Amino acid sequence: DVKVTQSSRYLVKRTGEKVFLECVQDMDHENMFWYRQDPGLGLRLIYFSYDVKMKEKGDIPEGYSVSREKKERFSLILESASTNQTSMYLCASKQGSGANVLTFGAGSRLTVL
Amino acid sequence: SQQGEEDPQALSIQEGENATMNCSYKTSINNLQWYRQNSGRGLVHLILIRSNEREKHSGRLRVTLDTSKKSSSLLITASRAADTASYFCATVTYSGNTPLVFGKGTRLSVIA
């Protein structure tokens, strides 16, 4: 019954590495989101996408990029990982209209050494 | 830009007691939602209340909304150890393709 799947639960990368975080949803949702969650800071929006090949910056897009080539998949890319990108990354999706209720994945905990 | 702010940051109660968490926000909203997060996991939607509603119930959950004070509360009645989690409010400023803005959460511990 899994609806939003994040490919990696735990990752350890080195500074300067390129990191891909993958997210797939099977609910045919138009909108997909990437948040990061840090202690004391709550959830902060990195990027979101309303449709295939469309992307919008959130509150903290610096150091990140995204790709949405297919409706069901939304990838978060760290071009050159840094230690301050160590965090929990949460992907979510929702219908394009209506109540705006988000369905989240289980999260990806990234550690950058 | 975080709009919702939960209060308290942490709450510890005994099993069977009621737990109340509050959320304040800054601008007009279309709806307000509460989510739950178990440790190290993703968030799960609990309940949504629209700006024209004042109170809503779902099982042991009761949510109120006071748009004049820009605040909401989540009440969990007869709490259980399994309710131990972090609870977040999230606001939607208008309908359509709008990202939800989350607060920092309240960490609830229910002691058996």
pLDDT for the residue B94: 73
8 Å CB contact between A2 and A9: no
Q: Indicate the domain borders of chain B.
A: 5-111
Residue that wins the pLDDT comparison between B4 and A35: A35
- Closest by CA position to A43, among listed B23, B42, B82, B29: B42
Q: B44-87: per-residue pLDDT in tens?
A: 999 999 999 999 999 999 999 999 999 999 999 999 999 999 99
Kindly determine whether residue B40 and residue A48, on different chains, have CB atoms separated by under 8 Å: no
pLDDT for the residue B101: 86
Per CB-CB distance under 8 Å, the chain B contacts of A68 are: none
DSSP class of A17: -
- In this structure, what CATH number is given to the domain that contains residue A81? 2.60.40.10
Per CB-CB distance under 8 Å, the chain A contacts of B29 are: none
Q: Structural domain of residue A54, as residue ranges?
A: 4-112
How close does chain A come to B72, measured CA to CA in Å? 17
A19 forms beta bridges with A78
Among A33, A101, A109, A110, the strongest candidate for a mutation testing the B interface, having the largest count of B CBs within 10 A, is A101
For range A15-29, the mean pLDDT: 96
C-alpha to C-alpha distance for B109 and B81, rounded to whole angstroms? 8
Number of domains in chain A: 1
Of the candidate CATH numbers 2.40.10.10, 2.30.30.100, 2.60.40.10, 3.40.50.620, the domain formed by B5-111 belongs to 2.60.40.10
Kindly determine whether residue A103 and residue B92, on different chains, have CB atoms separated by under 8 Å: no
C-alpha to C-alpha distance for B4 and B67, rounded to whole angstroms? 13
Q: B7-55: per-residue pLDDT in tens?
A: 899 999 999 999 999 999 988 888 999 999 999 899 999 999 999 999 9
Which one of B1, B35, B99 has the shortest CB-CB distance to A33? B99
Alpha carbons within 13 A on the beta-carbon side of B46: 26
Q: What is the 3-state secondary structure (H, E, C) of chain B?
A: CCCCEEECCEEEEECCCCEEEEEECCCCCCEEEEEEECCCCCEEEEEEEECCCCEEEECCEEEEEECCCCEEEEEECCCCHHHCEEEEEEEECCCCCCCCEECCCEEEEEEC
pLDDT for the residue B35: 97
Residue B37 C-alpha from the chain's centroid: 11
Q: A47-80: per-residue pLDDT in tens?
A: 999 999 999 999 999 999 999 999 999 999 999 9
Per CB-CB distance under 8 Å, the chain B contacts of A4 are: 42
Kindly determine whether residue A43 and residue B96, on different chains, have CB atoms separated by under 8 Å: no
